[in-house]
């Protein structure tokens, strides 16, 4: 169950990071509240996942997949530019996360 919660935390992390970029383009108070609320949800989910997973494993997966998701969605949603070499290193993050999951005790 901890891995499922961590997966939800990763999705929340991605949405949170993208909401920061979105809020920066808006001049409204409500747009600024969205990332704040998401940060509390995000941290709560990560903390919950850490009840069943080692902190280092949970944090590595959370940050790694969060970075991958934000990068890929940044390309798709905002037209951000990423080089082929950068994509290769991002693929290595995915390999690391998969290896972490396959070798984890929990």
Name the token pair of 38: 């998401």
pLDDT, mean over the chain = 93
pLDDT at 44 over 60: yes
Radius of gyration, alpha carbons of the chain: 15
- The pLDDT assigned to 104 comes to 80
Record the pTM.
Answer: 0.88
| Residue 93 · residue 50 · CB < 8 Å | no
pLDDT in tens, 63-85: 999 999 999 999 999 999 999 99
- Looking at residue 13, its pLDDT comes to 97
Residue 24 pLDDT more than 90?
Answer: no
Q: What is the pLDDT of residue 35?
A: 94
Residue 83: half-sphere exposure toward Cβ, Cα within 13 Å: 3
Exposed, middle or buried by CB within 10 Å (0-12, 13-18, 19+), for 60?
middle
Instruction: Please give the Cα distance from 50 to 97 (Å, whole number).
Output: 16
């Amino acid at each position: 169950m901890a891995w499922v919660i961590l997966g939800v935390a990763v999705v929340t992390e991605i949405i949170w990071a993208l909401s920061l970029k979105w809020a920066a383009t808006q001049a409204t108070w409500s747009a600024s509240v969205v990332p704040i609320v998401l940060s509390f949800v995000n941290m709560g989910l990560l903390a919950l996942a850490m009840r069943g997973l080692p902190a280092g494993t949970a944090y590595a997966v959370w940050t790694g997949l969060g970075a991958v998701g934000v990068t890929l969605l940044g390309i798709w949603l905002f037209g951000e530019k990423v080089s082929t070499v950068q994509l290769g290193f991002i693929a290595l993050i995915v390999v690391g996360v998969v290896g972490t999951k396959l070798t984890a005790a929990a």
